[in-house]
Structure 1
Amino acid sequence: MAEQQGVERQGSAGTPDVAYTVDAERRLPLPDAASADMVWECAGEHIDYTATAGYIDVRTDTGALMGKMFSLAYVAKRPQDAAVRPVTFCYNGGPGSASVPINVGGIGPRRVVTDGLDHLPATPRVEDNPATLLRQSDLVFLDALGTGYSVIAEDTHAQDMWSVDGDADTFARAIAAWLTDNGRWGDPVYLFGESYGTVRNAVLMRVLAERFIPVTGVIMLSSVFDWVQKMPGSDLGFMGLFPTYAATARHFGKAGEGTDEASWFDEAMDFSERVYGPALLRGDRLTPEEKTSLAAEMSQRIGLSAEIIERNNLRIDLDTFRRTLLADEGLVTGRFDTRFTTHAPCTSLGGTTPIMSDASSDAVEPAWNAAFRRHLQEIGFAGAPIYPLSNFPKIGITWDRSHAAPDSGMRAAAPNVAYDIAAALKHNPTMRMLVIGGRYDAATPYWNVVRDLSCLFLPEELKRRVELKLYSCGHMAYVDEPTLEVLGRDLAAFVR
């Protein structure tokens, strides 16, 4: 891997940022690509496939090297006269996350067997994945430049790629290169993105359409489209989190006794936009009586005391909810999946916030990393000792989120890439999109996704191209074994 050094320069908006250039003398040679023939077997069905780990050259229009994107491809063997076979390009988000979770955790041919809401052991069990999308499509897992094993070319400013638009551009170039290198032009192309990968998907599906690269379908797992909801103090953020709070409170027996999961969540969705949202818009124009009454009603739904809710002016941020709901038990809930818990921080050391700790990540990601590295050994790919699943401290913190929505003529610091989805669907009205969310996902709440898509005012024929699915899971839907089974069926139906 390359050693990098920071160089200050001016960003696109005229503000100083940090560009990373590569010290060529310290770069270790990149390993050669490696392939292995493997077999997937499950319930009497089997697939012979080839797993290939290697690099895709990402180049400018003039052929200059921008970087080498690490890819792990699974291609099923088929007769020479077989019909075309879909290929799905898959990635996680971050920004700064490698694609390991959706591979060995989710839809790849092998997966780590999870254990409900329990922390996985150091030596997890790995099995042929009964829900793998390889049954319907070849799979290419991609790591964004600067993440995982992907590297940025010498004398290239990383910050040019660590942005909403630069990132989508590099993925469009990598996809075109892979299709060319593997002779797959004309096969159905699908995109699968999770978390920030859905931001990438939204821009990428438009960019590919503009570059005359047809996309058959796009899968959005745990989506975020309008970044305003992520800004501190955003009323849209509080509204989106409210149904997730309600679902979590019911899960832990703090609210909703005697209700079923789906109806309780649906009622909270309705309450958020018909009662809670209008109240937030009124701010301190609510009368004391109205504020007290609403705090009491919220308390019954999300399990926090009315006093805490009222003291916070009806606005409960995620950090407050996570450390308050189970405070009497000394526990903090997860963020990616609020059903997971961990022990509260040690207050004697000044630890009062769990924001950088997430039990739902701690429970599975070390096991995924170990399984992935063993998988590369089996393929014969000699990767570097360190493969960071997340490079967020370097990449995500400096990420340029500014973006000009199509036809807007203005760059927004908090982009709404839902408009890119609308533009892409109008470019290619035969494309379909599957949007999947979880009730216990506090990182990308489902209410916001529904709201963002509804505000596009798509014509009816395009609305029919968009399908929404809601599961009883968190951010990483595949961690939950019952959900994985449903996810596998829905993905199979969508690609078929």
Structure 2
Amino acid sequence: MMVKKILISFLFVTLVTTSLIAKSDEVGILPFDLVETKHSIRGKNGKLNYIAVAGDTELKDSKGKPKASIFSTAYFRSDVKNTSERPLIFVFNGGPGSSSVWLHLGVFGPKIVQIPSDAQAVPAPPYTLKENALTLLDIADMVFIDPVGTGYSTALGEYEGKDFWGVRQDAEIMSDFVRQFITKYQRWNSPKYLAGESYGTTRAAVMVKELQEGWGSIDLNGVFLISSIVDFQAGDFNTGNDLPFITFLPTYAATAWYHNALPNKENYADLPTFIEEVRTFAMTEYASALILGQNVSKEAFTNVVDRLHEYTGLSKKYLEQTNLRIDEMLFMKELLRDRGLSVGRLDSRYLGVDASNVEARFDTDPSSYAIDGAYTAAMQTYLASDLNILRQQRYNILSGEVFSNWDWLYEGSARSQGYLNTGHFLSRAQRQNPSFRIFVANGYYDLATPFFATEYSFNRSGFDTQRITMKYYESGHMMYIHHPSLKKLADDMRAFLSIYTN
């Protein structure tokens, strides 16, 4: 009798396993690695019931061989039967080399990590995960994707991580995931959006081209670009490139405003009014002086020094020594040197104390180490406690290996490409797709992807500005860590989606 029971159990397990493997071969999902859980939270409009599906998707090459396993977490509202009109948002962060944790537990997901809003370092654990009443899950389903080398995503078989670590390679594998996902869950006819932060906005632009112009064209309804960088000439301080000195200046000014480092702050009614004046100066007298170089008159040079001092709080002597060219890393250390403090790069509201006050640059970005530990611990806790993902391997929040091995070349050669610029993919998407819209979120205190550089990028390349929504927040790169900005961002994105949810 015992032998019979064992045999029956063996046959049952065999049949189930065979069924799962067959299903895996059909849709590309690794067996046993998708975990479905049911949840409910109090959303913006009352109780919100949803299903979370977390796990791995196996992607194959043209010969049917496994090439990559992509870890994702998808959220579906459980009381919606007709999904053809329900938006689906694919969400990822940047780096390159970052998992999707920041947007997942910072703004979009049903749970968020609770951290101080006043630009103070987060204390040691324990940390609190709370229900996110501002989540867009009541009006849109969402999929959080970890690129290869981040989260639990990895290369498979004969493939290596480096095969996917590049502008083109990354966009191709991420687009493969999107195609497979909408096929498995029958979402080809749903309104579809990409949402990226930082390098994730670069990725989104290339994915738009890959999805809309590749084989089996997938038209998108739009993109959410949070702390955008699509034209790297506007953001890279390299010898001979004067553009970043212009595009960073308004963020320098906003930072000096925030820290009361301006000589005449009382002359300006508010931050937006002040910033508008700095914008005008940056594109006129300042840009002209930089273009003229050594041919700039002594009078013009002195005038620019005076104005830069008024707008940044940096000493006139220092500004003269920089030859009017203020590097971002030098600014972060110099602005509050007399107070023994440096300001953050991702969020210049944050302050740090370095080992030495005479160095040219800060030791480490204070706006990064202030919050990294909280998000890391919260994600590990959330995966295990809420999503039932119990794994021994490391969940890679950030990967320096990915970043250091990144292939930045998209065009045929470095000379033909010049500075990486993916903005024209978005403007072309607008020309080809009359429904394609762009939402751009900017932090005034973001010294990684400054808002004026973003404005510069979207004022060219043939964009239809009527289909671009540009919003600003009194926070930094991750504006959602500032509680008032989180609410405003969520409301702004909700309004952007309202065309499909009314």
TM over 0.5: yes
- Greater Cα radius of gyration, structure 1 or 2: 2
Deviation at 1:382, TM superposition (A): 1.6
Which has the larger displacement, 219-228 or 463-472?
A: 463-472
Matched position secondary structure for 2:233: helix
Residue 403, structure 1, aligned to residue 410, structure 2: yes
Matched position secondary structure for 2:404: coil
Amino acid corresponding to residue 220 of structure 1 in structure 2 = L
Alpha-carbon distance in structure 2 between the residues aligned to 1:152 and 1:112: 30
* 1:93-142 Cα deviation digits (max 9, x unpaired): 00001100001122111111221211122222221112212122111100
| Aligned position for 2:90 | 89
Residue 53, structure 1, aligned to residue 59, structure 2: no
Amino acid corresponding to residue 188 of structure 2 in structure 1 = W
Residue 232, structure 1, aligned to residue 233, structure 2: no
Q: 1:179 aligns with which of 173, 179, 182?
A: 182
Check the 8 A contact 1:131/1:488 in 2, yes or no: yes
Q: 1:432 aligns with which of 437, 448, 467?
A: 437
| Aligned position for 1:223 | 228
Matched position secondary structure for 2:405: coil
| Aligned position for 1:375 | 382
* 1:409-429 Cα deviation digits (max 9, x unpaired): 974142111111122222212
Alpha-carbon distance in structure 1 between the residues aligned to 2:108 and 2:315: 40
Deviation at 1:351, TM superposition (A): 6.0
Matched position secondary structure for 1:94: coil
Deviation at 1:208, TM superposition (A): 0.8
Matched position secondary structure for 1:95: coil
Q: 2:154 aligns with which of 138, 151, 163?
A: 151
Deviation at 1:149, TM superposition (A): 1.0
| Aligned position for 2:285 | 275
Q: State the identity as a percent.
A: 31
Deviation at 1:81, TM superposition (A): 5.0
Matched position secondary structure for 1:337: coil
| Aligned position for 1:316 | 326
Alpha-carbon distance in structure 1 between the residues aligned to 2:446 and 2:83: 41
Residue-pair matches, total:
459
Check the 8 A contact 1:402/1:413 in 2, yes or no: no
Which has the larger displacement, 194-203 or 111-120?
A: 111-120
Unpaired runs of 5+ residues, structure 2, are 1-29
Check the 8 A contact 1:114/1:481 in 2, yes or no: no
**Cα distance 1:236–1:151, how it changes in 2: closer, same or farther (>3 A)?**
same
* 1:350-407 Cα deviation digits (max 9, x unpaired): 96522x611112222211111111111122112334222111x2111221111239xx
| Aligned position for 2:170 | 167
Alpha-carbon distance in structure 2 between the residues aligned to 1:220 and 1:482: 19
| Aligned position for 2:487 | 485
**Cα distance 1:463–1:79, how it changes in 2: closer, same or farther (>3 A)?**
closer
Amino acid corresponding to residue 262 of structure 1 in structure 2 = P
Alpha-carbon distance in structure 2 between the residues aligned to 1:396 and 1:338: 23
**Cα distance 1:241–1:79, how it changes in 2: closer, same or farther (>3 A)?**
closer
**Cα distance 1:128–1:64, how it changes in 2: closer, same or farther (>3 A)?**
same
Q: 2:126 aligns with which of 104, 123, 127?
A: 123
Check the 8 A contact 1:101/1:365 in 2, yes or no: no
Alpha-carbon distance in structure 1 between the residues aligned to 2:57 and 2:452: 37
Alpha-carbon distance in structure 2 between the residues aligned to 1:410 and 1:237: 20
**Cα distance 1:77–1:410, how it changes in 2: closer, same or farther (>3 A)?**
farther
Deviation at 1:65, TM superposition (A): 2.1
Residue 332, structure 1, aligned to residue 338, structure 2: no
**Cα distance 1:80–1:59, how it changes in 2: closer, same or farther (>3 A)?**
same
Check the 8 A contact 2:40/2:47 in 1, yes or no: yes
Deviation at 1:318, TM superposition (A): 1.0
Unpaired runs of 5+ residues, structure 1, are 1-28
Check the 8 A contact 1:323/1:344 in 2, yes or no: no
Q: 1:363 aligns with which of 367, 370, 376?
A: 370
Q: 1:420 aligns with which of 421, 425, 429?
A: 425
Amino acid corresponding to residue 296 of structure 1 in structure 2 = D
Amino acid corresponding to residue 170 of structure 2 in structure 1 = D
Which has the larger displacement, 74-83 or 203-212?
A: 74-83
Amino acid corresponding to residue 346 of structure 2 in structure 1 = F
Deviation at 1:42, TM superposition (A): 4.2
Alpha-carbon distance in structure 2 between the residues aligned to 1:448 and 1:106: 24
Deviation at 1:195, TM superposition (A): 0.2
* 1:56-105 Cα deviation digits (max 9, x unpaired): 22223443322011101111112435763211000000000110000112
Deviation at 1:146, TM superposition (A): 1.1
**Cα distance 1:60–1:385, how it changes in 2: closer, same or farther (>3 A)?**
closer
Q: What value does the CA root-mean-square deviation take over the aligned residues?
A: 2.1
Matched position secondary structure for 2:186: coil
Alpha-carbon distance in structure 2 between the residues aligned to 1:298 and 1:168: 40
Amino acid corresponding to residue 470 of structure 2 in structure 1 = L
Alpha-carbon distance in structure 1 between the residues aligned to 2:225 and 2:434: 17
